[in-house]
């Protein structure tokens, strides 16, 4: 089964496609050598982004002002290259992919409006000419003022279709990429959009629920994909953490304490299943911003702890919708001589703690 493209892959791919389109426009417009120097600088910046995509995206999600810096750089490049006819508008539109992935169409729209506002503000402050080669004066205002916001709104609708189509074009090219569609609690532009009334019709509410289900199933497929080393739990859990983070863009940390010891093979499928189900519940129900997964070796026991900073358990405790799989795994863990607990974590969120002995103790 071929996995669709990940969020990180779309962020990188959009930048490189935009740079390729910019180069084609530079050739077509026969622009000066100075603009090619700017293009090369953007190529170097995109190369650095490609190398360090995961830490940079995590930093941008935690500190949204970094996205504003990215937009300012794109606006400055556009203004410095004849803004009404700039070939770097393609690159400015590619910058909108990250906020659109983080906050959906609202984030894309607000990022597009901010980019347009920055372009106009820089034009007024630098006294840039308003002359344009476009045939109609209103068209240049559409391109600069309305265009980026429109593209930002369309990005969340376009990417899911690309996610399905691109792997089919060349399945061998995308063997390890993880599905997109992140799940976030806080919108990027929460001061402006977080308090807006949401009047969802039954149809839109049903569509939202369907999208959540599709994202969860896509994450389930990604986490249950075969692993290269399916016997070493110290290798399995970090790989699951990486897949979860690439898929959801939720900051996820892994830590291992103690000296690794040999674990009976009987426990390996159980530990993997518990970690997967805990991560699926986090993505679907907790609205978490950060997840910590810890693996601890003691002289006689192995403990796995998964906790998040989400909304925590409801008043009904573990007997809520979505935790049925963990309830079933509690009985299985008990049969094997271990213990599985699910409880509210301090100061916030839910913790899943699994402890198993390093020797098999099957309960009869």
CA pair distance 178, 7, nearest whole angstrom: 8
What is the pLDDT of the chain when averaged over all its residues?
77
**10-65 pLDDT tens trace:** 888 889 999 999 999 888 877 777 788 889 999 999 999 888 887 777 777 777 88
Instruction: Give the chain's end-to-end CA distance (angstroms, integer).
Output: 39
**128-157 pLDDT tens trace:** 776 666 566 667 777 777 888 888 888 877
Contact status, residue 52 vs residue 245, Cβ threshold 8 Å: no
pLDDT at 185: 41
CA pair distance 5, 281, nearest whole angstrom: 22
Q: How far is CA 329 from CA 222, 239, 312, 337, 364, in A?
A: 20, 21, 20, 12, 17
More confidently predicted of 311 and 291: 291
DSSP 345: P
Q: Which residues of 70-81 are buried (b: 16+ CB within 10 A; e: fewer)?
A: bbebbbbbbbbb
- Residue 350 Rama label (left phi>0; alpha psi -120 to 50; beta): beta
Three-state SS at 69: helix
pLDDT band at 317 (very low <50, low <70, confident <90, very high): low
Rounded to the nearest 10°, the torsion over CA 238, 243, 249, 253 is -10
**226-253 pLDDT tens trace:** 877 677 888 899 999 988 888 887 888 8
Q: Where are the alpha helices (DSSP H) in 80-232?
A: 89-95, 97-126, 137-141, 147-169, 190-193, 202-223
Instruction: Looking at mean pLDDT, say which of 2-16, 155-169, 196-210, 265-279 comes out highest.
Output: 265-279
pLDDT at 134: 59
Q: What is the CATH number of domain 212-357?
A: 3.30.565.10
Which of 124, 129, 54, 42 shows the shortest CA–CA distance to 84? 129
pLDDT at 274: 92
pLDDT band at 196 (very low <50, low <70, confident <90, very high): very low
pLDDT at 296: 92
pLDDT at 125: 87
% of the chain residues with pLDDT over 90: 12
pLDDT band at 165 (very low <50, low <70, confident <90, very high): low
Entry field: residues in the chain: 364
Three-state SS at 23: helix
**Could you tell me the sign of the dihedral formed by the alpha carbons of 158, 322, 312, 225, in that order?**
negative
pLDDT at 193: 42
Q: Domains of the chain: which residue ranges?
A: 7-173, 212-357
**60-103 pLDDT tens trace:** 777 788 888 888 998 898 888 877 778 888 888 888 888 888 77
CA pair distance 289, 282, nearest whole angstrom: 10
pLDDT at 210: 57
pLDDT at 1: 41
% of the chain residues with pLDDT over 70: 76
Contact status, residue 99 vs residue 60, Cβ threshold 8 Å: no
Q: Out of 1-5, 15-19, 315-319, 345-349, which region has the weakest mean confidence (pLDDT)?
A: 1-5
Contact status, residue 177 vs residue 5, Cβ threshold 8 Å: yes
Which of 147, 166, 50 shows the shortest CA–CA distance to 90? 147
Q: Is the pLDDT of residue 303 over 90?
A: yes
CA pair distance 18, 42, nearest whole angstrom: 11
CA pair distance 79, 89, nearest whole angstrom: 10
How many other CB atoms are there within 10 angstroms of residue 3's CB atom? 20
CA pair distance 298, 42, nearest whole angstrom: 50
> What is the per-residue DSSP string for 251-299?
EEEEEEES------GGGHHHHHHHHHHHHHHIIIII--SEEEEEEEE-S
CA pair distance 238, 228, nearest whole angstrom: 13
Contact status, residue 245 vs residue 282, Cβ threshold 8 Å: no
Which of 211, 225, 224, 222 shows the shortest CA–CA distance to 183? 211
pLDDT band at 181 (very low <50, low <70, confident <90, very high): very low
């Amino acid at each position: 089964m071929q996995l669709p493209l990940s969020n990180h892959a779309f962020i990188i791919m959009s930048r490189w496609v935009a740079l390729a389109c910019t180069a084609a426009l530079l050739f077509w417009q026969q622009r000066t050598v100075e603009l090619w120097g700017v293009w090369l600088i953007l190529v170097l910046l995109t190369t650095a982004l490609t190398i360090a995509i995961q830490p940079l995206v995590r930093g941008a999600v935690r500190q949204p002002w970094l996205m504003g810096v990215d937009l300012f750089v794109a606006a400055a490049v556009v203004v410095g290259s004849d803004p009404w006819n700039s070939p770097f508008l393609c690159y400015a539109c590619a910058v909108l992919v990250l906020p659109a992935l983080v906050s959906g169409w609202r984030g894309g729209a607000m990022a597009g409006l901010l980019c347009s506002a920055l372009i106009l503000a820089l034009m007024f402050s630098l006294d840039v000419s308003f002359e344009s080669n476009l045939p109609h004066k209103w068209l240049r205002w559409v391109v600069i003022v309305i265009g980026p916001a429109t593209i930002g709104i369309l990005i969340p609708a376009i990417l899911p279709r690309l996610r399905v189509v691109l792997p089919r074009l060349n399945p061998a090219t995308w063997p390890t990429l993880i599905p997109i569609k992140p799940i976030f609690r806080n919108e990027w532009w929460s001061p402006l959009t977080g308090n807006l009334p949401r009047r969802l019709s039954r149809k839109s509410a049903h569509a939202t629920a369907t999208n959540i289900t599709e994202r969860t199933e896509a994450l389930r497929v990604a986490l249950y994909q075969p692993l290269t080393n399916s016997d070493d739990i110290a290798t399995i859990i970090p790989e699951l953490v990486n897949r979860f983070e690439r898929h959801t863009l939720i900051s996820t940390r892994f830590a291992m304490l103690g000296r690794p010891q040999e674990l009976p093979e009987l426990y390996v499928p159980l530990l993997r299943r518990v970690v997967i189900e805990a991560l699926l519940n986090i993505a679907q129900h907790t609205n978490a911003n950060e997840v910590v997964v810890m693996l601890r070796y003691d002289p006689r026991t192995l403990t796995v702890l998964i906790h998040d900073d989400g909304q925590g358990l409801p008043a009904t405790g573990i007997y809520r919708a979505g935790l049925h799989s963990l309830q079933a795994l509690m009985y299985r863990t008990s049969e094997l001589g271990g213990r599985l607990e699910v409880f509210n974590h301090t100061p916030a969120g839910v913790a899943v703690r699994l402890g198993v002995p390093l020797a098999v103790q099957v309960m009869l």
